C-alpha cells in the first residue's frame, strides 16, 4: 500500500481525533469518580526516570493495570485513559524517554524493550495494582508491545497491538526503499513537545519533498533541506537495509517461540503498518507453541491506520463501507481485557481466531487460521498483442492460459522526468483513482486487464506476482498495483508491492543487475485485502518504476541510492517477458 497515502490520512485524522477523543470517551462514561496521580516518576534500570500520569478508580482497591508507552506525549490519550479508569482499570500513560516529561534521550525504537520490561514490573508492585499488567495502543505503541513481550516480564498478562509498526519491515523503509515521510515523523517526535502542528502542515512537507524531487538532490540531504540536521536520520541511513541494527528491535525466532500470552492483533486493509502488524502475527504463529497460537486472535477491518488504532470510520480514502465495518474499539478492548484479566466472558465478536471484513458485502467472516482464507488460487498469465501494453487504452491482458509464443513488452523509466511529480496532488488519500493522473504513465509502465468477471467473486488474502524482466541499467525500483475496475469504469486500488532490483534475491544482500540478463522477480509482499469483486468488474495490474515525491528516488546508476543525484541518473529501458519460457503470472486468492 502507498505508505505516504496512509501517512497523509494520519495527518488528516489527527486533529479530528484530538478534538473527538474526549467526547467519544465521554459517551461511555459513568459517574464513577477517579483519582489522578500526576507526574509519577518511574525509575529504569539505568537510573533514567520516565514520566507517567496514572488514572485510577477512586479508593484503595487494587486493579489490573493497562499502560501505553508513547512517543507522542501522553496527554493525547487522555480520553482513553479516562474511559478505562471508569471501567475498573488503572490506566497509565507513560512518555518514552526523552519525550514529554520523561528523562533521557529519545532514540526511536531502540530503547523500548528494556524500558517496557521495567515498567511492567514496577507497575505490578504498586499499591493500586493487583499484579496483572497489560498494554494498550497501536502504531509505534503497537511495536512497543512486541518489544516488551520479547523481554518476557513475568507480570505481563496480555498485549493488544493494533497496526503495529515493525522496524525494517514497514518503517522507516519498505523493501529497503525509503520514504521522505521519515523526516516528517522525526520532526513530529523531535524534542520534548508533540510538534503536532508542524507535523500536520502538509503543504510545507510536500513543498520540501518536491524540492528534493525536482532538484534531483541526494536523499541523505533531506534533513538539511527541512532545516533539521538530524543525527537520528543519519543513523538510520547508515543502516539503509535490513541488518543487525534493526534486528535488535524485533523478537528473534527463538523469542517468538517463547512468547506465550493472549494476544489480540488488529489491522486494516488500508493500514500503512499492516505489513508490520501481519509480519509480527505470522512469525508468532509460525514459531510459537500450539498453546500460544491458540490464544492469538486477529482482526482485519476495512480501515486505514487511525481506524485500526483508534477509531474506525465508514469512509476511508474515498471508499464508503457498510455499517458493520464500524466497531466500537473501546468496547472490544474492554471486553478483551475483562476476559483475560478479570475472568470475564470472551468477546462475542471473536467467534473464531481470525475475523475479517469483506468489502462489497458489508459482512464479517471468520476462520480458524489465516491460511484457510483464500486457499483456492486463480492464476492469470500476462500477455499482449504485439507488445502493446503501455496504457489502459492499449493494454495487455491477464489470461487463464500461458502464452505459447508472445512478443515481450517494453517501457522506459527516466529518473530526470519530473512530470509525474508535478501532477501529484496535496490530497492523495483517495483509493478511488483519478484516471487522468494514475494512468498517465508517460511511457514508464505497463498495464494488463482480466476479462470481466462472469460472477461476483470474493477475493481475500495475499496476491502473488512473478515477472520476468531484463534492463540495461544495474538497478531500478519497481512498483506493482492491483485495481478493481468496476463496470462503470470506477478504479479502486486493492493492493500493491515494491521491489528494488538489487535486493530481488535477498533484502540483506545486494546484487546489481547484469544489463540484458533476463531475471525472475517475485512480488510476495502485497498487503492482505478482502473484496467482493462485482460481476462485470475486471482486475487491472499496473507495473512501473515509482517516480514520486513520496518515495526515495532510484537514479539507476547502481551507486548507493542514498547518495545518488541527478548527475548519476541513467535512463532504464525495461523489457517484460511473458512467453512459454518466461511465464509472468499473477496469482489471486479466491474464496469459494
Q: For 68-102, what is each residue's pLDDT tens digit?
A: 999 999 999 999 999 999 999 999 999 999 999 99
Whole-structure pTM value: 0.94
Q: Are residues 363 and 447 in the same domain?
A: no
Cα–Cα nearest to 319, from 483, 141, 559, 549: 483
Q: Are residues 459 and 386 in the same domain?
A: yes
CATH code at position 149:
3.40.50.1820
Q: How confident is the model at residue 243 (pLDDT cuts 50, 70, 90)?
A: very high
Q: Is the pLDDT of residue 217 over 80?
A: yes
Q: Are residues 364 and 393 in the same domain?
A: no
Q: Are residues 213 and 145 in the same domain?
A: no
Residue 39 has a pLDDT of: 96
Q: Are residues 233 and 248 in the same domain?
A: no
Q: Is the pLDDT of residue 529 over 60?
A: yes
Q: Are residues 294 and 329 in the same domain?
A: yes
> Given the C-alpha cell 507522542, which residue does it identify?
72
Q: Is the pLDDT of residue 399 over 50?
A: yes
Q: Which of 371, 402, 417 is the last residue of a domain?
A: 371
Q: Please count the structural domains in the chain.
A: 3
Residue 423 has a pLDDT of: 78
CATH code at position 447:
2.60.120.260
| 516: containing domain | 376-591
Q: Are residues 145 and 117 in the same domain?
A: yes
Q: And the C-alpha cell for 305?
A: 491506520
What is the phi/psi pair of residue 173, to 5°?
A: -150, 165
Q: Are residues 365 and 387 in the same domain?
A: no
Is residue 454 within 8 Å of 396, Cβ to Cβ?
no
Residue 437 has a pLDDT of: 45
Q: Are residues 553 and 433 in the same domain?
A: yes
Is residue 166 within 8 Å of 256, Cβ to Cβ?
no
Q: How confident is the model at residue 4 (pLDDT cuts 50, 70, 90)?
A: very low
Q: How confident is the model at residue 122 (pLDDT cuts 50, 70, 90)?
A: very high
Q: Are residues 496 and 415 in the same domain?
A: yes
Q: Which of 332, 348, 371 is the last residue of a domain?
A: 371
Q: Report cis status (omega within 30 of 0) of the bond before 172.
A: yes
Which phi-psi region, left, alpha or beta, contains residue 354 (left: φ > 0; alpha: ψ -120 to 50)?
Answer: beta
Q: Which of 343, 371, 399 is the last residue of a domain?
A: 371
Residue 544 has a pLDDT of: 96
Q: Are residues 167 and 199 in the same domain?
A: no
Residue 425 has a pLDDT of: 62
Q: Are residues 423 and 474 in the same domain?
A: yes
Q: How confident is the model at residue 427 (pLDDT cuts 50, 70, 90)?
A: very low
| Close Cβ partners of 235 (under 8 Å, ≥ 6 residues apart) | none
> CA angle, 14 as apex, 10 and 16 as ends, to 5°?
125
Bridge partners of 484? 492, 539
- Residues 193-213 pLDDT 10s: 989 999 999 999 999 999 999
Residue 392 has a pLDDT of: 80
Amino acid at each position: 500500500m502507498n505508505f505516504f497515502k496512509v501517512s497523509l490520512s494520519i495527518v488528516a485524522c489527527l486533529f479530528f481525533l484530538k478534538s473527538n477523543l474526549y467526547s467519544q470517551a465521554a459517551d461511555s462514561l459513568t459517574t464513577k469518580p477517579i483519582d489522578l496521580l500526576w507526574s509519577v516518576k518511574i525509575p529504569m534500570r539505568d537510573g533514567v526516570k520516565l514520566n507517567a500520569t496514572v488514572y485510577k478508580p477512586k479508593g484503595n482497591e487494587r486493579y489490573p493495570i493497562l499502560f501505553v508507552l508513547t512517543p507522542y506525549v501522553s496527554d493525547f490519550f487522555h480520553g482513553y485513559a479516562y474511559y478505562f479508569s471508569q471501567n475498573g482499570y488503572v490506566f497509565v500513560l507513560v512518555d518514552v524517554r526523552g519525550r514529554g516529561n520523561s528523562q533521557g534521550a529519545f532514540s526511536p525504537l531502540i530503547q523500548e524493550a528494556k524500558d517496557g520490561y521495567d515498567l511492567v514490573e514496577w507497575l505490578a508492585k504498586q499499591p493500586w495494582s493487583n499484579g496483572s499488567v497489560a498494554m494498550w495502543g497501536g502504531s509505534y505503541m503497537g511495536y512497543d508491545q512486541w518489544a516488551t513481550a520479547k523481554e518476557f516480564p513475568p507480570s505481563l498478562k496480555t498485549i493488544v497491538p493494533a497496526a503495529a509498526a515493525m522496524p525494517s519491515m514497514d518503517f522507516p523503509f519498505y523493501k529497503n526503499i525509503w520514504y521522505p515521510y521519515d523526516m516528517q515523523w522525526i520532526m513530529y517526535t523531535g524534542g520534548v513537545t508533540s510538534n503536532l502542528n508542524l507535523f500536520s502542515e502538509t503543504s510545507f512537507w510536500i513543498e520540501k519533498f518536491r524540492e528534493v524531487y525536482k532538484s534531483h538532490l541526494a536523499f541523505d540531504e533531506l534533513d538539511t533541506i527541512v532545516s533539521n540536521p538530524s543525527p537520528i536520520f543519519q543513523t538510520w541511513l547508515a543502516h539503509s537495509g535490513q541488518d543487525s541494527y534493526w534486528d535488535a528491535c524485533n523478537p528473534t525466532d527463538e523469542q517468538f517461540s517463547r512468547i506465550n500470552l493472549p494476544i489480540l492483533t488488529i489491522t486494516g486493509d488500508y493500514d500503512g503498518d499492516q505489513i508490520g502488524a501481519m509480519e509480527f502475527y505470522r512469525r508468532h504463529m509460525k514459531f510459537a507453541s500450539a498453546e500460544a497460537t491458540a490464544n492469538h486472535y486477529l482482526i482485519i477491518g476495512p480501515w486505514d491506520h487511525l481506524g485500526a488504532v483508534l477509531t474506525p470510520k465508514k469512509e476511508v480514502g474515498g471508499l464508503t463501507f457498510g455499517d458493520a465495518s464500524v466497531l466500537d474499539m473501546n468496547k472490544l478492548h474492554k471486553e478483551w481485557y475483562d476476559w483475560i484479566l478479570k475472568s470475564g466472558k470472551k468477546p462475542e465478536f471473536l467467534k473464531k481466531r481470525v475475523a475479517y471484513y469483506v468489502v462489497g458485502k458489508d459482512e464479517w467472516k471468520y476462520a480458524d487460521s489465516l491460511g484457510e482464507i483464500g486457499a483456492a488460487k486463480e492464476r492469470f498469465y500476462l500477455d499482449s498483442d504485439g507488445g502493446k501494453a503501455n496504457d489502459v487504452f492499449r493494454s495487455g491482458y491477464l489470461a487463464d492460459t500461458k502464452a505459447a509464443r508472445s512478443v515481450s513488452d517494453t517501457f522506459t523509466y527516466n529518473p530526470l522526468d519530473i512530470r509525474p511529480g508535478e501532477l501529484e496532488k496535496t490530497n492523495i488519500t483517495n483509493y478511488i483513482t483519478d484516471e487522468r493522473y494514475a494512468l498517465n504513465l508517460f511511457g514508464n509502465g505497463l498495464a494488463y486487464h482480466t476479462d470481466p468477471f462472469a460472477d461476483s467473486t470474493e477475493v481475500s488474502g495475499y496476491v502473488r506476482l512473478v515477472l520476468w524482466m531484463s534492463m540495461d541499467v544495474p538497478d531500478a525500483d519497481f512498483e506493482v498495483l492491483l485495481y478493481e475496475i468496476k463496470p462503470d469504469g470506477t478504479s479502486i486500488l486493492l493492493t500493491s508491492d515494491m521491489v528494488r532490483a538489487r535486493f530481488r534475491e535477498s533484502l540483506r544482500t545486494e546484487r546489481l543487475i547484469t544489463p540484458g540478463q533476463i531475471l525472475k522477480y517475485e512480488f510476495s509482499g502485497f498487503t492482505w485485502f478482502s473484496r467482493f469483486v462485482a460481476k462485470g468488474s475486471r482486475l487491472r495490474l499496473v507495473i512501473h518504476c515509482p517516480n514520486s515525491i513520496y518515495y526515495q528516488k532510484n537514479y539507476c546508476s547502481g551507486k548507493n541510492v542514498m547518495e545518488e543525484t541527478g548527475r548519476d541518473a541513467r535512463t532504464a529501458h525495461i523489457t517484460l517477458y511473458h512467453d512459454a519460457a518466461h511465464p509472468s503470472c499473477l496469482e489471486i486468492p479466491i474464496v469459494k
